[in-house]
Amino acid sequence: MILAIDIGNTTVEFGFVKNQKFIKSYKLSSNLDKTADDWLLDLQQIFFVEQTKVDDFVISSVVPQIEDKISFSIKKGFSKTPLIIGKNIDIPIKNNYKNPQEVGIDRLVNAFGAISKVNPPVIVIDLGTAITFDVVNEKGEYEGGAIFPGIDSSIKTLFSKTSKLPMVSLSESKNPVGKTTIESIQSGIFFGYCSLIEGMVDRIKKQYSYDFNIILTGGNAKLISKGLKIRHILDEYLSLEGIYLIYNFNRSKL
């Protein structure tokens, strides 16, 4: 078993992964002000609840400041050096980006997790802090994708830039035409992002002239999945699965 640690801009997810069917995770806020000792306390509490041991700690990160603190806390509290994807673990996928170093580790982790789950070509849509579309071609190579502002960020921006519109929470809408201001905002966000996803998938299909498997993941994936009219797989643990699969691929070299 490993502890897969997915460090994102909004949350840090700690996942106990035994295999692709046994995953238990805990999410904490990506607080830049927390010290290494704060993270160590969090880890100790999680392990106290789980009462289990892990063979390795494996990190995928897009926030270097938090990555450094969590790495230090693991060394201090567990006498283990964490394995960091992209540094001492390679991601076994060909990267066709013009500048491969520009691609976020999280996007490549998702891409590898996706082609280990379904046959390529595949589009991974991650509804997190940002909404990312990541395309893997029929050869299993990472092609690139698109990045949009995330849903939560859009809601906060709308609220902060308008004086009369209320702050709302994201929820499933039954009809596109709202009968109150809150319903109208919720409808615009819910159906708007569903249409955005459907429209982008259609454009990507036209660019490559073949059909794709589609995987939806990320914090808002479960809700948005309910409004999509396109065939897709919902996988809330794709990032943790990707970390685990990359670790397994590299284990003989470690």
The tokens for 30 are 């990506």
Cα angle: 190, vertex 193, 196; to 5 degrees: 150
* CA-derived radius of gyration, the chain: 19
Residues with a catalytic annotation lie at 106
CA nearest to 237, candidates 3, 24, 9? 24
The tokens for 122 are 């595949």
| Contacts for 181-186: CB closer than 8 Å, 24+ residues apart | 185/158
Query: What stretches of the chain adopt beta strand conformation (E)?
Result: 2-7, 11-19, 22-29, 56-61, 83-84, 122-127, 130-136, 142-149, 213-217, 233-234
How far is 215 from 218, CA to CA, in rounded Å?
Answer: 10
